[in-house]
Structure 1
Amino acid sequence: MRRRTSFALTVLLTSAVLAAAGCTGPERPTPDDTAEELADGLARQDLSALTLVSDTSAIPQQQLTEVVEPLVAAAGDGDAVPDVTVAEVVEATTEEDEPPRASVRLAWSWPLAAGHTWDYTTETEMVWAPPPEDSEEPGTWEVRWGPDVIVPGLAGGERLELAVLAPDRGDLLDVRGEPLVTARDVWRIGIDKTFLEPEEYEQQATELAELVGLDPAAYAARVEGAGDKAYVEAITIRQDRKTSGVSFTARDARSIAGVNVLADTMELAPTSSFARPILGRAGEATADIIEESDGAVQRGDVVGISGLQRDYDAVLTGTDGLAVHVVAGEDGEVLRDAYRVEAVDGADVATTFDPELQVLAEKVLADVEPASAIVAVRPSTGEVLAAASGPGGAGWSTATLGQYAPGSTFKVATALSLMRSGVFPEDTVRCPRSITVDGRTYENVPGYPQEATGEVTLRTAFAHSCNTAMIGAGAEVRQADLAAAAVDLGLGEPAVGAPAFLGAVPTEASATGHAEALIGQGKVLASPLGMATVAASVAAGERVEPFLVRPVEGEDDDSASPSPSAEDATAEPAEEPAGTADGLGASEAADLQDLMGAVVSDGSASELADIPGVTGAKTGTAQYGDGSQQHAWMLAIADDLAVAVFVEDGEFGSTTAGPLMGRFLTGR
């Protein structure tokens, strides 16, 4: 049975044919106007101006509204969608006893979620229905209606559902190209209120909180405040017991009544502490991130929250896909896809971390109470193989962002500036017990060996870290030349692929400021990464440019090399000096290697002499604050490895940083 939806009228085919035969062309409107009315009505989701004929009892307006509802919702603006235009109208050739017919092809365009646009065409037929014999109306073109007018191939009882297809997040890779941060199995542990009676909520929540280390009162309040059927997560832990970093197990949690333990995956590094201040983490988008995204990020999306995960989120995230499913039945069984664009998985981002060295460095620092760091750079490539920050830094990347006076480790740069002024390792310098500059007296560290004072070679003064010799010999070295030597050794503008600070040396200074700079104090600042780079440059024979992240294909320089944010800075660096035109020369590096070798064979790092592969080192101590506290440093070169060890509050470089360096180099 055919049904007209604009008025109730049944016309016998024979009378329609006779009336049509008696209607002349000029008196019958062309089908184009009706086709335009159809396109306009579909775009506005309003079919009231049309005469529709259906083979079923379905109500076209209701059918249209139900089918397009999810598409309109995805577009986000019902006044603007869809765009429906008449692509073609073709009048059919008919016999004299047949009513005129025409076919119309409609072009649809739906703006959908995730930036996708669904373009397609549908077709239908129009049949001329002449007016009654006594009517003065011109008649009308009736439009054949069916759900396939809305979507090609759509049948009665079928509807549409939209599904965003999430891409797989890219991995952070290690120096060998193996996954470093990747999807790993976890347990989500929490109270499931459907397992308990209301009077049990507080007691069971408290018991779980005590097990996992949460504030019992705060967690119990969260459980009480959640809905009656809520699952209130307490903690997520790794399924791998060796790397979970907690003292309890999922089985322990399950033994508590009301606890539900759910299996899931999360983007995680090899261990819970592994380079965490640098790598950061990925997780469900926070309210702030959602707001900042201007609609690009939705609740429940997994995004980079901090560190490299956030710096490279656009690369790692990939692009959402989209499917328009044709579904049927109460359970919404998916029959087929009317439209589908596959997700584009996120790209991997390659770091230079060596997992074994990073884990070793973190293990060495695990019991160091003050802020501390170990950084290892491969001189031949500039790869930062380890950048560990001890627990005393409270989550801060001491290794890459710390800004500290480098103390006597900076004498590597001082020695380079001295050699450029004509003072070489075998030349004699004076190492008195004290030296006065502009009314201020400087001394050597307590316990400085008496036999290394007086007239000594630069090698001896360097090996034992004579402050007075460096200040005295460096009096004729311009501050700008000292700064340029530091830049030639790598204390320049970083481009490591992650927020970082290498070093800052003022180009101008007072007499006392210059004296302090010569021994790595005053306004001279460096990070553990910066000082490891100095050692790497000496080992390589040229300035090394360290990097933590390999260039990302298709990314510009700015996105591939994030800069420190305002909150990353602990001090304003001095104006960036320029290095020399020729940079660090091979012969200069050879002399510096000689000097650093003497520190191991004859000087303050002699405890490293028995460690295989060690060819050079430099200790450093820098007073800070009111002068009663001091930073402890040590640099070392071992095979194709340059290492810096730093402890914010220690005794001396040799006694505080030295043993840590020994453990690291022995365990590598």
Structure 2
Amino acid sequence: MRLPALPATLAALALVATGCTGSDGSGAEKVADRLAAQLQHHTLTGVPLESRSTVFDDQVAALKKYDVAVAASRVKADGDAATADLRWTWRIGTRTWTYRTTAHLARTGDTWKVDWRPDTLAPGLTDQERLEVARTTPARADILGAGGRPIVTQRRIYRYGLDKARVPAADVPALARRVAKAVGIAPGPFVTEAKAAGPKAFVEAIVLRPSDARDHVDPDFGHIPGALVLAGTRALAPDRDFGAELLGQVGPATAEVVQKSKGRVESGDEVGLSGLEGRYDEQLAGAATTEVRAATVTCTPAGACTRTGQKRVLADWAGHPGSPLQLTLDVDLQAKAERILAAAGGERSPASAIVAIRPSTGDVLVAANGPGNHGLNAATFGQYAPGSTFKIVTSLALLRAGLKPQDMVTCPPTIDVDGRRFKNYADYPASRLGKVTYRTAIANSCNTAVIGQRDRLGGRALADAAASLGLGVDHDLGFPAYFGQVPPASGETEKAADVIGQGKVLAGPLAMATVAASVAAGRTVVPHLLAGKAPAADPRLPLTAPEAHALHDLMRAVVTEGSGRFLASLGGDIGAKTGTAEYGTARADGSLPTHTWMIATRGDLAVAVFVETGESGSQTAGPLLKSFLS
């Protein structure tokens, strides 16, 4: 067994072993030092012994995974007998257990040997006792949503598996294969696990919610000899898909997690492996109550020992329960958004997301990912070209440069910039071409009109406008959050692409919902998902109330006369902006696939809807937005 290096503090203590002194010369001292050195490796191998211990390995077995420093000192000889003080410092998880014992040595001729006794290992230990470490982990704390509603909490589960104690050993492989088939898991690994488990072990095959059992478990399961279902609880969300990409997963600790925990986590612990569950594992998990005990055993002449139930506590440390993690998610709205995305397509559908923010507070109410994301957290950490939704940012920069919503601009079918031709989306209304107001150009999302105004924007104008709306400035919010980028354009073509949300401009649903929220709030909003995690916005050019009002009027025009007219039937003061952005590799007909977007404000709600591949913002993302706002 390769032992880990001792922590620095334990290693320093171990060095003391080389400095012990005694009255009989160096012989006993050297043997005491040798004993201390080997005990640090949980073994007596290499130590000269008066008689070989038959129980040492069994007694220390439960502590072999813990580091220990042993220092020998005060070696005192009296004729052919000697004693040495041993100072033990164990690292039991995150706790330290320190005590002293006495080692006995005997001399025959010129040779000193250790007269090993069990109480040299631990105070008062006898041949009839074995050391054990008992850890009791508290139930995992809840993750809560808005209003303190539980999101992840202890929910009922069923553990399906094979009870080896109820079947002949020879039948285990065949029965394990039947159990695996009945619960829908791969039989090979389960058969291997069942064969390797102890003769009386319950070998778990799958853990299911009661609502999932009907779909996953064959009725034949109950007729398989040894098949067993154990009821229990586990920290779970309302359903397997609820906020899955954001919340993360809980499961058995991996070797990597154990190593990084520095003793807090041990093999077999249930820990957060990803998402918020992983990042806040220490808070949610609390600390285990730990005891080091001497358990009494009875042994047969053949050496088989069983515990009697009698135990002495040698050391103990009280644990504590975890603390709930408070989120701002609205449980009902999150569930609604996920149902809408699921209804739009299954796992073969494009990646999609809906994010909703309360502008007045910055609370993230929804961070929903579609079934086609396959674990990708597109909602808060997606990085995509935002297309024409970014025209709200460009409009702020142009307003600051002196353009007014009623100013006339030109919206041609195409526009050439340094040899590259830009055009409007395929079904752009012909009646809105030519000379139109800037308000009309935004309402109908005219690319060429916005590109034609790019010369008004110099230096940091676009980046400053983005920052004023909460885009392009990173914050550590305690969860994966991407706020986009608006880098300087390297030329006129790139600048033309940037102002319509392509080029090198990137954002995600969270970032674009933040833009909409800032417009609605009349100030720069920094969204937050965790209670107490709300850094203040500090843009170089703060958003003003008149600017926000003008932007809201532009978004309102999208609904009253432009590409978002289908939202008008919902009533209320809804503002919106559609977006489509080309990406990727051209299809056979030469066209490029397109990201589709739509952002909106309605009262104290700001929403961004994203579908990775679709027809257009109004045709693909729009219906999802309308369903959400309905």
TM-score, length basis structure 1: 0.73
Contact 1:43 1:81 in 2 (8 A): no
1:508: Cα distance to partner?
2.6
The aligned counterpart of 1:233 is 204
Residues 176 and 42 of structure 1: is their aligned pair in 2 closer, same or farther, counting only changes over 3 Å? farther
Relative to structure 2, which stretch is displaced further, 254-263 or 632-641? Answer: 254-263
Residue identity opposite 1:393 in structure 2: N
Residues 327 and 260 of structure 1: is their aligned pair in 2 closer, same or farther, counting only changes over 3 Å? same
The aligned counterpart of 2:114 is none
Residue among 489, 493, 497 paired with 1:508: 489
Matched position secondary structure for 1:656: helix
Matched position secondary structure for 1:164: strand
1:326: Cα distance to partner?
5.9
Residue identity opposite 2:557 in structure 1: A
- Does 2:554 correspond to 1:595? yes
The aligned counterpart of 1:476 is 456
- Alignment map for 1:180-195 (pairs within 5 Å): 180-195=151-166
The aligned counterpart of 1:170 is 141
Give a deviation string over 1:296-338, Cα, whole Å, max 9, x none.
5322022221112222223333333322446556544356645
1:339: Cα distance to partner?
3.6
The aligned counterpart of 2:276 is 308
Residue identity opposite 1:517 in structure 2: D
1:438: Cα distance to partner?
1.6
Relative to structure 2, which stretch is displaced further, 604-613 or 151-160? Answer: 151-160
The aligned counterpart of 2:110 is none
Give a deviation string over 1:595-615, Cα, whole Å, max 9, x none.
111111211111212225452
C-alpha distance in 2 between matches for 1:651 and 1:659: 12
C-alpha distance in 1 between matches for 2:119 and 2:294: 12
The aligned counterpart of 1:20 is none
1:159: Cα distance to partner?
7.3
Percent identity between the two aligned chains = 44
Residues 526 and 593 of structure 1: is their aligned pair in 2 closer, same or farther, counting only changes over 3 Å? same
The aligned counterpart of 2:289 is 321
Residue identity opposite 1:643 in structure 2: V
Matched position secondary structure for 1:504: coil
The aligned counterpart of 1:15 is none
C-alpha distance in 1 between matches for 2:322 and 2:571: 43
Give a deviation string over 1:338-363, Cα, whole Å, max 9, x none.
54321122332222222111111111
C-alpha distance in 2 between matches for 1:81 and 1:592: 72
The aligned counterpart of 1:621 is 580
Contact 2:177 2:191 in 1 (8 A): no
The aligned counterpart of 2:431 is 451
Matched position secondary structure for 1:634: strand
1:522: Cα distance to partner?
1.6
Residue among 548, 569, 572 paired with 2:529: 548
C-alpha distance in 2 between matches for 1:333 and 1:33: 45
1:66: Cα distance to partner?
11
- Alignment map for 1:62-77 (pairs within 5 Å): 69=60, 76-77=67-68
Residue among 619, 630, 633 paired with 2:597: 633
Residue identity opposite 1:408 in structure 2: S
C-alpha distance in 2 between matches for 1:253 and 1:159: 40
1:530: Cα distance to partner?
0.9
Contact 1:170 1:316 in 2 (8 A): yes
Residue identity opposite 1:412 in structure 2: I
Relative to structure 2, which stretch is displaced further, 523-532 or 200-209? Answer: 200-209
The aligned counterpart of 2:49 is none
Q: How many residues align?
A: 557
Give a deviation string over 1:529-572, Cα, whole Å, max 9, x none.
1111111111111111112223489xxx9xxxxxxxxxxxxxxx
C-alpha distance in 2 between matches for 1:160 and 1:205: 34
C-alpha distance in 2 between matches for 1:234 and 1:345: 29
Q: Give structure 2 stretches of 5+ with no counterpart.
A: 1-21, 25-29, 37-51, 76-84, 103-116, 299-306
Residues 161 and 191 of structure 1: is their aligned pair in 2 closer, same or farther, counting only changes over 3 Å? closer
The aligned counterpart of 1:283 is 251
1:177: Cα distance to partner?
3.0
1:283: Cα distance to partner?
1.2
C-alpha distance in 2 between matches for 1:170 and 1:659: 38
C-alpha distance in 2 between matches for 1:228 and 1:117: 32
The aligned counterpart of 1:137 is none
Residues 82 and 665 of structure 1: is their aligned pair in 2 closer, same or farther, counting only changes over 3 Å? farther
- Does 2:358 correspond to 1:382? no
Residue among 329, 335, 350 paired with 1:359: 335
Contact 1:83 1:109 in 2 (8 A): no
- Does 2:626 correspond to 1:650? no
TM-score, length basis structure 2: 0.77
Matched position secondary structure for 2:158: strand
Over alpha carbons, which structure has the higher Rg?
1
RMSD across aligned positions (CA): 4.1
Residue identity opposite 1:636 in structure 2: A
- Does 2:94 correspond to 1:115? yes
The aligned counterpart of 2:48 is none
Matched position secondary structure for 2:361: coil
Residue identity opposite 1:234 in structure 2: A
Residue among 219, 222, 235 paired with 2:192: 222
C-alpha distance in 1 between matches for 2:157 and 2:249: 15
1:260: Cα distance to partner?
2.0
Residues 612 and 266 of structure 1: is their aligned pair in 2 closer, same or farther, counting only changes over 3 Å? farther
Matched position secondary structure for 1:496: coil
The aligned counterpart of 2:108 is none
- Does 2:494 correspond to 1:494? no
Contact 2:358 2:364 in 1 (8 A): yes
Residues 649 and 326 of structure 1: is their aligned pair in 2 closer, same or farther, counting only changes over 3 Å? same
1:245: Cα distance to partner?
8.1
Residue identity opposite 2:548 in structure 1: A
